[in-house]
Amino acid sequence: MRQAGRSLPEYRRAREGTAMLDACLTPELASELTLQPVRRHDVDAAIFFSDIVVPLRLAGVDVDIKPGVGPVLGRAVRTADDVAALPSVEDDAFSAALAPVRDGVALTVAALGSTPLIGFAGAPFTLAAYMVEGGPSRDHLAARTLMHADPQTWQALTAWTADVTGAFLRAQVLAGASAAQLFDSWAGSLSLADYTTHVAPASSRALAPVRDLGVPVVHFGTGTGELLVAMRDVGADVVGVDYRIPLDEANRRLGGSVPLQGNIDPALLAAPWPVLEAHVRDVVARGASAPGHVVNLGHGVPPETDPDVLTRVVRLVHGIDG
């Protein structure tokens, strides 16, 4: 998970005095924060340090991350005129704005050597939900209302967020990332019908810019057990599964068609080691039913997690035969 470093004391020292979005857009710092979990835990891949709203900031949207709150927009986007007023992402200005991302990825890839780097971007629905709500939301009611009350405006907005995400992912892959992960934090608020009709086309559009680059695509969402097949069908090579559904059941729902990523429950990182160890072994055993399994958390690393526990989990997984 992209939040892997935030439990590390070296992460907090490096970030001290630097706002989140500034950290993401300072190539040397973004690279250092990406590398820290690899050095500390000896994981098999790195995930580029970024945030879901970074491409919105680069596109010219007034957005910031407020500590303790999350991403907050200067103005919500809820009408056709609001969407029409969004900055163009088809001109040279947006491409030039992506330079810190390309530079950060290139620095990281050079430092990683043979360890692969996974690029990262928020999915169009999650970006659009933030824009319509104006900030974090528990039920994304305004976004879900817009998709039905004014489907043309919703389609225009998600086409725009898809193009932002696609350019952001493509820049990372062209700079050296070995895979791309599309992260749909809020898709779990949707019904399957709403996802298929109002979201899947935009997610497919977001992945189009990396399809010709020959890298695998991971698609992850939270609370998306009922959407797994639809999420695969937008063009994913690997489906990420959160902690709410066992991997063998996820594999059954997907018909054994794709490798899975997941899905250690972050809550158990603070449990006694015998409890966590049994859980990790169970996750690995259930993942063995899939065509492939990238062992990972089923959501982000809690900041208060003991880093030594994460290192111990990695060693455990590396030591399991199979």
> Known catalytic residue: 243?
no
Between β-strands 179-184 and 117-122, what pairing exists: parallel, antiparallel or unpaired?
Answer: parallel
Are 102 and 171 within 8 A, CB to CB? yes
| Selection from 82, 177, 93 nearest residue 134 by Cα | 82
Distances (CA, A) of 137 to 63, 68, 118, 181, 315: 15, 13, 28, 23, 37
Between β-strands 117-122 and 46-47, what pairing exists: parallel, antiparallel or unpaired?
Answer: parallel
Considering 11, 40, 130, 242, which one is annotated as catalytic? 130
Beta strands in the chain (DSSP E): 46-47, 63-66, 70-73, 117-122, 179-184, 217-221, 238-240, 260-264, 293-297
The pair of three-digit structure tokens given for residue 199, joined into one six-digit string: 């979201």
What DSSP element (H or E) covers 157?
Answer: helix 151-174
How far, in Å, CA of 79 to CA of 253, rounded?
37
Considering 11, 51, 57, 242, which one is annotated as catalytic? 51
> Known catalytic residue: 312?
no
> Known catalytic residue: 39?
no
Are 177 and 109 within 8 A, CB to CB? yes
| Selection from 175, 73, 206 nearest residue 133 by Cα | 73
> Known catalytic residue: 130?
yes
What DSSP element (H or E) covers 154?
Answer: helix 151-174
Gyration radius from the chain CA atoms: 19
Which residues are part of the catalytic machinery? 2, 6, 15, 51, 130
